Amino acid sequence: MHALTDALVITKRQLLQLARVPEVLIFSTIQPVMFVLLFRYVFGGSIETGQPGGYVQLLMPGIFVQTTAFTLAATASGLAEDMQKGLIDRFRSLPIARSALVFGRTLGDGLLNILVLAVMGLAGYLVGWRPTSGILKISLAFLFLLAFGYALSWVGIFAGLAARDARVVQNVSFLVTFPMTFLSNAFAPTTGMPKPLQYVAEWNPVSTMVAACRQLFGLENKFGATAGSFPSENPLTMSLIYMAIILVIFVPLSVRKYTNKVTK
Amino acid sequence: MKSIVAQDLLKTYNKGAIRALDRLSLDVEEGTVLGVLGPNGAGKTTTVRILATLLTPDSGSANVAGIDVIKHPDKVREIIGLSGQYAAVDETLTGWDNLVMFGRLYHLGKAASIKRAEELLERFSLTESARRPIKTYSGGMRRRLDLAASLIVKPKVLFLDEPTTGLDPRGRLEMWGVIEELVKDGVTLLLTTQYLDEADQLADDIAVIDHGKVIARGSSDQLKREVGGERLEVVVEQAHVAPTMAIVAKVSGTKASFDEGLRKISAPVTTGAGALIEVLRALDGAGIHPLDVALKRPSLDDVFMALTGHVAEVEEVPTGGKKKRKGGNR
């Protein structure tokens, strides 16, 4: 079947878009780098971590996770725009595998994430981030981040297909992902939050992802919430469970939505 | 042989509350052009979307080139081309990028995709702008590129959904030229339009649809005849209206109607130019000098009016962006 090659043509389209409008790529990497610098120098001085190497060690995993979560908005709005412009109709009138468009898109998002994570890693290194766990575990952490990003891009696909307007879905995605990344252990200890929020933060997939990455980068998770709870004790397992749940729900939903999509 | 056959297509929305298609049937002879004419919301786009496998009808059947569109949509997709109301191409990419991408998606292979893209760019006079992003193109250029994208595999059957909506007069004329060229090559074409002159210009056969049904079918001439033959129109000074009406009524054999604003007296006639001469003689004999006299064949507008009881609602659909909201300030 042509399913794979069709998907790759779609992925190539996404990369071509970036080549034709390089500003998009530049700004989508500047933003996370800006976050690295802001958090490192604005909050870094006032948050006591007890961590050798200081706040930046704890911060980087948080920002990595946040950035992969934010790409969801771009996926969603890109797809919603394709729908609005009638491009999805054209793709659907072609003799291509039904799954090609959505799979191709998630693949492209994955490639984009690799690039963004690399740029951020470099920026982190320049401001003092030094993971200590060795090349194998560090690579594993990045793979883990890419897997998380991949799972989330399916959420973006679904949101994009369900949306009526590209701008709306972009704003809505941001309204969801922004608090989600802050209601977590990504930037500050959860112990300072009101009790109910602590539970939210503790079970938040962003927290388990951040905690898992910290572990893989060779850190103790000093920002974790209640010791002894399942997600704080087993962040890697819990993150994998979350990813599986997301994929199991959103892959079939998105493919179905795409196949049945009836525009006005 | 029939290239397109649709039978009793029914499509409802909101659990039957809205009937987009109400048992619509139509067919198109191979190598001919059917113009599907109707106002906004008549069901034109829904029909095209079903025939192009984008939408499944609630009931009814449809064949394209002998293939069932509901049972074998994949096979239908290999032989059709679709160009929609909005230029469905990737605007950030160049014209060349777009056509090569679509070629790849038709599984032409890299070299063949590039070759075909270049042929089509040449054919639609887009070679010079091939390396520019689509967003720098004019409306007419976009439509031509969109059309080119639907011709990559030399489709047997082509669907064009309102190909000139939103184009300026020059863009429309260019597009008409391009479509006429295609028809010469023998493609079977189903074209929807809300412009009566467009159907008149391009289509061999016209299906007028309203409220999801075909309400009339025939060549442009047949439809015009169906609505009635020619009308005689005379404009005179106010003082001469009454005697003129009597003369016109006598010649046409029916009651003449009078448009006060234009002081225009008119009546249907069957004898064409003969009636015109007769009326002029009678007017001359009565010492009445008409300000204007005309023998008019009905336009498709008249056909539409006669068939649907309302004028064709021509609404400009912007090619991008949204309609501006009125009021609401302060």
Of A6, A21, A100, the CB nearest to B92: A21
Check CB contact under 8 Å for A95 and B92.
no
DSSP symbols for A205-219 = HHHHHHHHHHHHTT-
Per the CB < 8 A criterion, the answer to whether B266 and B233 are in contact is yes
For B74-91, write each residue's pLDDT tens digit. 899 989 999 977 668 999
Residue B154 has pLDDT above 90, yes or no: no
CB contact under 8 Å between B85 and A262, yes or no, is no
Over pLDDT 90: what percentage of chain A? 49
Residue range A118-140: average pLDDT? 93
Residue A238, pLDDT score: 93
Confidence of residue A226 (pLDDT cuts 50, 70, 90): low
- Determine, for residues A93 and B86 on separate chains, whether the beta-carbon distance falls below 8 Å: no
Residue A262 confidence (pLDDT): 46
Which pLDDT score is estimated for B254?
80
- Among candidates A6, A20, A93 on the partner chain, residue whose Cβ is nearest the Cβ of B133: A20
A126 touches chain B (CB under 8 A): no
Confidence of residue B115 (pLDDT cuts 50, 70, 90): very high
Q: Does B305 touch chain A (CB under 8 A)?
A: no
Q: Which of A16, A89, A96 sits opposite B105 (nearest CB)?
A: A96
Which residues from chain B sit within 8 angstroms of residue A96, using beta carbons?
105
Is the CATH number 3.30.470.20 carried by domain B230-296?
Answer: no
Tokens at B233, concatenated: 């129109």
- C-alpha to C-alpha distance for A62 and A141, rounded to whole angstroms: 12
Average pLDDT over residues B249-260: 83
- C-alpha to C-alpha distance for A92 and A84, rounded to whole angstroms: 14
Q: What is the dihedral of CA A165, A170, A173, A177, to 10 degrees?
A: 180
Rounded Cα distance, A161 and B29, in Å: 37
Question: What's the pTM?
Answer: 0.79
Q: End-to-end distance of chain A based on CA atoms, in angstroms?
A: 31
Residues B234-249 have a mean pLDDT of 88
pLDDT at A107 over 60: yes
Please report the pLDDT score of residue A181 as a whole number: 92
What percent of chain B is modeled with pLDDT above 90?
43
Per CB-CB distance under 8 Å, the chain B contacts of A100 are 105
What is the per-residue pLDDT for B322? 37
Q: Which domain holds residue A231?
A: 3-260
- Check CB contact under 8 Å for B88 and A86: yes
According to CATH, where is 3.40.50.300 located in chain B? 2-225
List the single residue in A17, A96, A262 with the smallest CB-CB distance to B55.
A262
State the pLDDT confidence band at B153, using cuts at 50, 70 and 90: confident
How far does B258 lie from chain A, in Å, by closest CA?
44
Whether A6 has its CB under 8 Å from any CB of chain B: the answer is yes
pLDDT of residue B311: 57
The C-alpha of B306 sits at a distance from chain A's nearest C-alpha, in angstroms, of 29
B78 in A contact zone (CB under 8 Å):
yes
pLDDT of residue A142: 96
Q: Which residues of B20-39 are buried (b: 16+ CB within 10 A; e: fewer)?
A: bbbebbbebeeebbbbbbbb
Number of folded domains that form chain A: 1
What's the per-residue H, E or C state across chain B? CEEEEEEEEEEEECCCCEEEEEEEEEEEECCCEEEEECCCCCCHHHHHHHHCCCCCCCEEEEEECCEECCCCHHHHHCCEEEECCCCCCCCCCEHHHHHHHHHHHCCCCHHHHHHHHHHHHHHCCCHHHCCCEHHHCCHHHHHHHHHHHHCCCCCCEEEEECCCCCCCHHHHHHHHHHHHHHHHCCCEEEEEECCHHHHHHHCCEEEEEECCEEEEEECHHHHHHHCCCEEEEEECCHHHHHHHHHHHHHHHCCCCEEECCCCEEEEEECCCHHHHHHHHHHHHHCCCCCCEEEEECCCHHHHHHHHHCCCCCCCCCCCCCCCCCCCCCC
pLDDT of B293 over the 70 cut:
yes
Model confidence over B130-143: pLDDT tens digits?
A: 999 999 998 889 98
Q: Which residues of A touch B104 (CB under 8 A)?
A: 5, 9
pLDDT for position B312: 52
Residues A17-45: tens digit of each pLDDT = 999 988 888 888 898 899 999 988 888 77
**How large is the average pLDDT for residues B211-219?**
90
* pLDDT reported for residue B329: 36
Q: Do residue B93 and residue A13 have CB atoms under 8 angstroms apart?
A: yes
Contacts of B103 (CB under 8 A, 6+ apart): B112, B113, B114, B116, B117, B152
Strands B157-161 and B80-83: parallel
A95 to chain B: closest CA residue: B77
Are the Cβ atoms of A17 and B89 closer than 8 angstroms? no
What is d(CA A37, CA B115) in angstroms, rounded to the nearest whole number? 49
Per-residue pLDDT at A261: 60
Q: Express each pLDDT in A169-204 by its tens digit.
A: 988 998 999 999 999 988 888 888 888 888 888 899
pLDDT level of residue A143 (50, 70, 90 thresholds): very high
B74 to chain A, any CB pair closer than 8 A? The answer is: yes
- Mean pLDDT, rounded, for B300-319: 60
pLDDT class of B326 with cuts at 50, 70, 90: very low
Q: How far is CA A261 from CA A166, B96, B219, B313, in A?
A: 16, 28, 36, 28
Fold of B2-225: Rossmann fold (3.40.50)
**Mean pLDDT computed over every residue of chain A:** 88
Q: Which of B90, B94, B102, B137 to mutate to test the interface with A (most CBs of A within 10 A)?
A: B90
Partners of A77 in beta bridges = none
pLDDT for residue B317? 40
Position B104 scores a pLDDT of 94
Residue A157 has a pLDDT of 93
Mean pLDDT, all residues of chain B: 85
Q: Does B85 touch chain A (CB under 8 A)?
A: yes
A128: left (phi over 0), alpha (psi -120 to 50) or beta: left
- Tell if the CB–CB gap between A90 and B55 is shorter than 8 Å: no
Stronger pLDDT, B262 or B326, i.e. the higher one? B262
B212, B21 Cβ separation under 8 angstroms? yes
Which residues in chain B are contacts of A92 at CB distance < 8 A?
A: 53-54
**pLDDT (tens digit, 9 = 90+) per residue, A145-165?**
999 999 999 999 999 999 888
State the pLDDT confidence band at B60, using cuts at 50, 70 and 90: very high
pLDDT in tens, A197-223: 888 888 999 999 999 999 999 887 666
Question: Which of A153, A141, A117, A144 has the alpha carbon at shortest distance from A29?
Answer: A117
How many CA atoms lie less than 13 Å away from B225 in the CB half-sphere? Answer: 6
The lowest-confidence range among A65-69, A188-192, A248-252, B161-165 is A188-192
User: DSSP label at A118?
Assistant: H
Whether the predicted pLDDT of B325 surpasses 90? no
Whether residue A264 has pLDDT greater than 70:
no
Q: Do B105 and A6 touch (CB under 8 A)?
A: yes
Which CA distances in Å does B10 have to A136, B43, B59, B160? 60, 10, 5, 21
